[in-house]
Structure 1
């Protein structure tokens, strides 16, 4: 398993500077953020130079204002266009792929008005259509589109690994787990990882409190041992808030996680 860290957590003015810090701190790679309005494609000259300079950038985490499960058709179509572009860019860089949730912050069944304006069946149809188009494009680029389940307070459509697996209709559509969301949604995180193993392509890691690993109550020994047992060989990407200064806590976090690898 390779240990990576999201770019916004790293000090440094350039990806090259960030990567030097990341490696010194005990990480192997940088996870990029994919902003909307084709901002990510606009970074291609920067990303090409970073790649030439040896920066390892295997994955992209989408960072947009709307997503493939939006209630608005125009916003869904735009999200698909943005993700197609991001898949093309990460493909050119020789990366693994791009991850996205079904949506974020759009609706929760746990908050008023409790009933979304679209049925569960319609949700599934919308997601299947978007993921089908993205899966075909990802396959042509030699990369993956990875669906990330979010917790029930941030998304009402895909909350568990099992729900995400149901939408993996082709080999280029895979699942990205997140230990923070799993802590809320999975009855048994280790069992869920085992069940999702054939479809699990990426893991994001953060604590039960959304801070860096080691500051909460997650059973890291058990979950990382489970990933090892199922033969998971993807990335562990640090996506969290930092409790403390990055120069201090990032090396501590890398050392903490590596104790279990």
Structure 2
């Protein structure tokens, strides 16, 4: 059948604000079945407390229904639990590391990726070197913990949200410098539109470091509701032989079901032209 993309959609059991880019909220099992009905291959879980999730039970449910978990997103540790890897308090940093290791344990049982995005936190003013060293030390600890079990991906996030590792190019360089087989790059079209001068050139530059992809329009609407050139982006991913998931991380407008359906229908329709 030739080159194929696999599609995922962001879900969470938490009650989140409307501007949070997660489509289905509430019962995880119901969301998984809804995603399957719409034609998705997997779901991306946005979790507040990974240690409270029954990974084996969830894996069995997914296997039974022909679905997968594409990744665990850790941003709710920051937005809801108020924990980041840049916290000044040593005890708080220890707590977030315990939480991140719980995500890794769960990801291992679910055979999926762990995303490090907003949870890395912002570096304090005039402390760039110290902040980067702090992040690198914690990342190394997590990579050692995940070695041979789980892939960890670093998301390139625009500078309005995070003040380091903003562009795809610099984040790809960061991943390459680490040289860890369990570390990869996560790109997001919404952030790329803001941060990367030439998103297509950035994808080609990053190449094999790309291990996870988020699709959303420039205003965080569903793909096809704006002016992002997704056929060109998908061609670029095909050029670098991207093998991972394309996950929809958009706001639930006009509503979650409509946004999820229009996303998958649009992407599968334009794929025939790629």
Q: Could you say whether these structures have the same fold, taking a TM-score greater than 0.5 normalized by the shorter chain as the test?
A: yes
* Alignment correspondent of 2:151: 144
* Alignment correspondent of 2:33: 20
- 1:181-240 CA-partner distances (Å, limit 9, x unpaired): 111000000111111112110001111001111122211111111001110010011111
Secondary structure of the structure 1 residue equivalent to 2:131: helix
1:67 to 2:79 alignment: no
CA distance in 2, matches of 1:74, 1:118: 23
* Alignment correspondent of 1:110: none
Count the aligned residue pairs. Answer: 247
Secondary structure of the structure 1 residue equivalent to 2:191: helix
* Alignment correspondent of 1:163: 170
CA distance in 2, matches of 1:60, 1:76: 20
Which structure 2 segments of 5+ residues have no match? 13-22
Structure 1 pair 44/229, CA: closer, same or farther in 2 (3 Å)?
same
CA distance in 2, matches of 1:75, 1:2: 37
Secondary structure of the structure 2 residue equivalent to 1:202: strand
Q: 1:215 aligns with which of 225, 246, 251?
A: 225
Q: 1:117 aligns with which of 100, 114, 125?
A: 125
CA distance in 1, matches of 2:182, 2:158: 24
CA distance in 1, matches of 2:170, 2:87: 18
For the Cα contact (< 8 Å) 2:9–2:247, is it kept in 1?
Answer: yes
Q: 2:11 aligns with which of 3, 7, 12?
A: 7
1:188 to 2:198 alignment: yes
Correspondence 1:196-235 to 2 at 5 A: 196-235=206-245
Which structure 1 segments of 5+ residues have no match? 108-115
* Alignment correspondent of 2:70: 58
CA distance in 2, matches of 1:179, 1:70: 28
TM-score (normalizing by structure 2): 0.83
TM-score (normalizing by structure 1): 0.86
Deviation at 1:12, TM superposition (A): 6.8
* Alignment correspondent of 2:160: 153
Deviation at 1:51, TM superposition (A): 3.4
CA distance in 1, matches of 2:77, 2:263: 27
Q: 1:44 aligns with which of 33, 54, 57?
A: 54
1:100 to 2:81 alignment: no
Moved more, 51-60 or 194-203: 51-60
Deviation at 1:5, TM superposition (A): 0.2
* Alignment correspondent of 2:256: 246
Secondary structure of the structure 1 residue equivalent to 2:68: coil
Deviation at 1:84, TM superposition (A): 1.2
CA distance in 1, matches of 2:211, 2:145: 17
Secondary structure of the structure 2 residue equivalent to 1:244: coil
